[in-house]
Structure 1
Amino acid sequence: MRRRIIILCVMVLTAIPAWSQNIQEQRERKKQLEEEIAMIDKQLDTTAKKRKQSLNTLILTRKKLETRKKLIARLDSDIAGYDLSISSTNAEITRLNDRLDTLRKYHADLVRGAYKTRDSKVWFMYILSSKDINQGLRRWAYLKNISFSVRQQASAIKSTELDLQLENARLEELKAGSMQARNEREKERDALSAEERKANSMVVQLSKQERSMKRELQKKQKEVEQLNKEIERILAEAVRQQKSGKGQAVDYALSAKFGDNKGKLPWPVKGVVIQKFGQNYHPVFKNLKMPYNNGINISATAGSTACSVFDGVVKQILVMPGYDQCVLVQHGEYFTFYCKLKRVYVKSGDKLSTGDRIGEISLNEDGNAELHFQLWKGTEKQNPENWLR
């Protein structure tokens, strides 16, 4: 039985470090997910004041569903970690109880031995009855150290009792944490079910607006194509001038620093990605392709400001239909575009540092700020989400 307990302890304890060592990281990630849900809720509240149903409302609701599912998965991970830790703590308590029983038994034997040998005459008789000198010396050493052994065993018992108390307290704390996580998970599951019903209802309502949505999509297609052509023209011209030596020399040191920060760049605005890079499909009519997105669209709260993701120089400011003002920032070989700005705080030639304000973001039809952001290396478009942290 004891061997089984020891084996169980070893198996569980080897699985615990990965959970316990990352517990702070898990809490931070859980906090981020909760903050993202709160931010989406705030944007949905703004949308509700403008109009009841819209594509962006559906997209935000689905994003909220996705985030909540991640939160539930995080809670599942926390609960599994609690279960592992509770199992290991129970095993440790069993081990300490077994050790305590052994110590108490041994201590009782020592006390009985000390009681029997309390008379010095008994000591001498016990030593003189030895078979030889070696046995006599061993008996002398035993009698001499017996009181020390009694004290030592008593100390070991107290130490083990204290360890046992600590483990029992830890067990209760773990059980409370596990119960809290389970209650949170149940609450999140209920919220998820309600939001899924709401999203399905929105799809039904929006599907009745197919004709107007397709007209809006055609208009958007033209705006996107016009923007993409203009950006591609600007970049092609910039690269051509650099190669011919007519344009401004490329800052390769800055390029290297920018490249080294892939996956570490700050977001141009704190918000939610509502349109991803590349080919996307209509959120209601699944077979209908959306215009190809050379960047990402980020929904943020009204009044939000777009900020530079890295050191660079403002190369150009242009105005495009459907995208308001756009700011092009050069970072050596790399370029970033910040579109849908209603107010710009920079001018061509300005040097920017990471985090510098570029402009106030325009509001979309739902009353939320919506930034269109692109990132290029020369004339090669990049997925911004691969570069942002």
Structure 2
Amino acid sequence: MGNLKFNIFLALVFLMSYASFSQTKEQLEAQRKKYRNEITRYNKLLFKEIGKKENALQDLKDINQKIQVRNKLIKTIQLEAKLLSKGIKTNERKIENLKKNLEALKTDYASMIYKSYKSKSQQSRMMFLLSSQNFYQAYKRLEYMKQYASFRKKQGEEILVQANFISKLNDSLRYQKSVKDTLIFVEKNQKDAIISDKKQQESLITTIKKKEGKYKREIKKNVREEKIVAERIDKIVREAIAKANKKVANKPKNSKKNEFILSPEAKALAAKFELNKGKLPWPVQEGIVVRKFGKQSHPLYPGIEINGTGLHIVTSQGSDAEAIFNGEVLNILVGSGGTKNVMIRHGNYITSYNHLENAYVKKGDKITTGQKIGRIFTDKVSGKTTLIFVLLKNTYKLNPASWMLKR
């Protein structure tokens, strides 16, 4: 009976440790899948036109990003393999302990069977009972024989349970070893891919160094142009606020100059927008963020500072921008290259969808979540289709990544 209790305890310990192991393993598997999908998107969306001299600077930035993701994937694979190795060693120790316990059970059971057989050869069960001095002794002997038979049966069942449990542990062990072998193979492939990416990286660096002055001038020019666009958006928003607030008859005493005075309907819409923080859909069906929000050094020239007013999202050619929430088209701006910027108001929140080839909506249109608002422009030189997505609360710029669903 002591052995049975020990076995039950051992099984519970195994199941509890396996549940904890599985939970961590599942998290790493999800992370590994995420990075692999990200690499697939990088190859699909960022490297169609690689090799053109005009794209060298952008291609280098993209390859650097892809190498970073590959390194994250390799690190995740290594953690997963380490976790599996730990699980395999734990299983091997448990199997060894269970085998020793099973051998002890079998020895004990064999001894009991032998004694039982020997007892039967000396005298039959009936003679054992008939030789009793009185009825009470005969009754006790009968009960003893029943208990002995029951104990033998339980020991036989316990041996079967132990054997089945060892078999299941062995199956789990074989599966874990095969998964680990697969992970090692994937890790090797990723390391080989990084070697290939780095060769391409070195080639691009050589190309860029030959025309470094030209590239720096282009970057500074783009920074200036983006600043002009940002200032234009700010001006449009301030004018829209002033115009909307001018129509309000009874202005609240605590109203501020560059903030919308909200009607009850606009206030309710803004409240719903805020409640959906972290759950809002992306403005594209598929995409990669190639530039984040906020002030940052240029990835290749740290001396040049970029002010990311929103997210730069690369998507597939022919993609449409989609509204992330219900609202009304506040304005449609036209850029110097003819690209359009659709601005949608959601109470005192504004979303800006810039770098559109054309717009499907017009100023004043009511918009619903997920509605297609324009075709995103594809650059003929780089071959990339990039949406510049900006989020504001009144005139204050927010990080859109904090408001949208995690991908």
Deviation at 1:294, TM superposition (A): 0.9
CA distance in 1, matches of 2:268, 2:28: 37
Match of 1:35 in 2: 37
Match of 2:305 in 1: 289
Of the three residues 363, 366, 391, the one matched with 1:351 is 366
Q: Is the Cα contact below 8 Å between 1:40 and 1:64 reproduced in 2?
A: yes
CA distance in 2, matches of 1:18, 1:152: 32
Alignment of 1:203-352 (within 5 A): 203-246=205-248, 249=263, 251-269=266-284, 270-290=286-306, 292-322=307-337, 324-352=339-367
CA distance in 2, matches of 1:126, 1:382: 97
TM-score, structure 1 as length reference: 0.87
Deviation at 1:22, TM superposition (A): 4.8
Match of 1:388 in 2: 404
Structure 1 vs Structure 2 CA RMSD:
3.0
CA distance in 2, matches of 1:322, 1:155: 82
CA distance in 1, matches of 2:360, 2:230: 24
Match of 1:21 in 2: 23
Q: Is the Cα contact below 8 Å between 1:319 and 1:325 reproduced in 2?
A: yes
Question: Which region of structure 1 is more displaced relative to structure 2, 299-308 or 9-18?
Answer: 9-18
Q: Which amino acid aligns with 1:288?
A: I
Aligned-partner SS, 1:268: coil
CA distance in 2, matches of 1:360, 1:272: 17
- Provide structure 2 residue ranges, at least 5 long, that are not aligned to the other structure: 249-260
Deviation at 1:338, TM superposition (A): 0.4
Deviations 1:312-364 (A, max 9, x none): 22211111225710000111121110000002111222222222211111112
- Provide structure 1 residue ranges, at least 5 long, that are not aligned to the other structure: none
Going from structure 1 to structure 2, the CA distance change for 1:346 and 1:323 (only over 3 Å counts) comes to same
Q: Is 1:375 aligned with 2:391?
A: yes
**Identity percentage of aligned residues:** 29
Deviations 1:249-302 (A, max 9, x none): 362222122212222222212222222212232333222223x22112111222
Q: Is 1:55 aligned with 2:57?
A: yes
Question: Which region of structure 1 is more displaced relative to structure 2, 234-243 or 86-95?
Answer: 234-243
Q: Which amino acid aligns with 1:345?
A: Y
Question: Which region of structure 1 is more displaced relative to structure 2, 19-28 or 371-380?
Answer: 19-28
Aligned-partner SS, 1:144: helix
CA distance in 1, matches of 2:203, 2:13: 49
CA distance in 1, matches of 2:79, 2:309: 36
Q: Which amino acid aligns with 1:275?
A: R
Of the three residues 26, 34, 46, the one matched with 2:48 is 46
CA distance in 2, matches of 1:380, 1:207: 38
Going from structure 1 to structure 2, the CA distance change for 1:27 and 1:346 (only over 3 Å counts) comes to farther
CA distance in 2, matches of 1:152, 1:17: 29
CA distance in 1, matches of 2:204, 2:229: 31
CA distance in 2, matches of 1:138, 1:153: 22
Deviation at 1:160, TM superposition (A): 1.4
Q: Is the Cα contact below 8 Å between 1:12 and 1:87 reproduced in 2?
A: no
Alignment of 1:79-118 (within 5 A): 79-118=81-120
Q: Which amino acid aligns with 2:95?
A: I
Question: Which region of structure 1 is more displaced relative to structure 2, 95-104 or 47-56?
Answer: 47-56
Going from structure 1 to structure 2, the CA distance change for 1:322 and 1:248 (only over 3 Å counts) comes to farther
Deviations 1:32-64 (A, max 9, x none): 322221221123442226547422211211111
Match of 2:72 in 1: 70
Match of 2:255 in 1: none
Going from structure 1 to structure 2, the CA distance change for 1:317 and 1:136 (only over 3 Å counts) comes to same
CA distance in 1, matches of 2:270, 2:93: 56
Of the three residues 148, 151, 161, the one matched with 2:150 is 148
Deviation at 1:207, TM superposition (A): 2.4
Question: Which region of structure 1 is more displaced relative to structure 2, 166-175 or 72-81?
Answer: 72-81
